[in-house]
Amino acid sequence: MRIGIDFDNTIVSYDSLFYKVARERGAVPDGTPVNKVAVRNYLRQIGQEEIWTQMQGYVYGARMNEAICYPGVLDFIKKATNNGHELFIVSHKTKYPFLGVQYDLHEAAFSWVANHLHEAGVPLIEIDQVFFEPSKEAKLKRAGQIGCQVFIDDLPEILLSEHFPLTAQRILFDPEGNHSEKVLLGCKVIRSWFDFESCLPI
């Protein structure tokens, strides 16, 4: 089975890193939840959208290697590949930030994959099975070209897009419980990587 997996906020968790960087810069007050969305919402509420945008480029570029996997990611990947499934990372990611220093975000993400998704130096997902596309449309096209039979993403808009591969099973990764299967027809909603076996025969 060919399984496509989104990258940002699906494989990689940025909650602690965004909080750390925001506190280093004095951008959020003490007591702000250790959560990427909480940092973003606070900066937007005080009219500092530009700081948030610049921070994204810095985190996804210069500090990318400090980001961590969601719990259970490595176990899932190892079990799926050991059982003969083909795994692909297919993500929408601009090559350079919209504001600030022009870090190569694709290079930083490929480096993260090489440094974090391995076991004893052996890649868990080969680099030629990792795709960072410049737009959501290109991401969905790539998933179709690969022939994904399952696709895992944190964004309902991707899974519900009219361009989503028709034959692929849709799985929404929603660790904070923001969505329900009742309103996402055709999608399975999973709260943790440890729960994927309940809907995938891996």
Domains of the chain and CATH, by start: 2-13+69-198 (3.40.50.1000), 15-65 (no CATH)
113-127: pLDDT as tens digits: 999 999 988 999 999
Q: Tell me the pTM.
A: 0.94
- Could you tell me what percent of the chain has a pLDDT over 90? 86
On the 0-12 / 13-18 / 19+ scale of CB atoms within 10 A, 155 is middle
Lowest mean pLDDT among 22-26, 143-147, 194-198: 194-198
pLDDT one-digit tens code per residue, 86-113: 999 999 999 999 888 999 999 999 999 9
What pLDDT, on a 0 to 100 scale, did the predictor assign at position 39? 98
pLDDT band (50, 70, 90) for residue 169: very high
Return the pLDDT at 197: 75
The predicted-structure confidence for 38-96, as pLDDT tens digits, reads as follows 999 999 999 999 999 999 999 999 999 999 999 999 999 999 999 999 999 999 999 99
CB 19 within 8 A of CB 32: yes
Mean pLDDT of 168-192: 88
- pLDDT value for 201: 67
Banded model confidence at residue 202, pLDDT cuts 50, 70, 90: low
Measured between alpha carbons, how far is residue 80 from residues 1, 15, 25, 76, 102 in Å? Answer: 9, 26, 40, 6, 36
Give residue 29's pLDDT: 96
Q: Mean of the per-residue pLDDT values for the chain?
A: 94
Tens digit of pLDDT for each residue in 12-25? 999 999 999 999 99
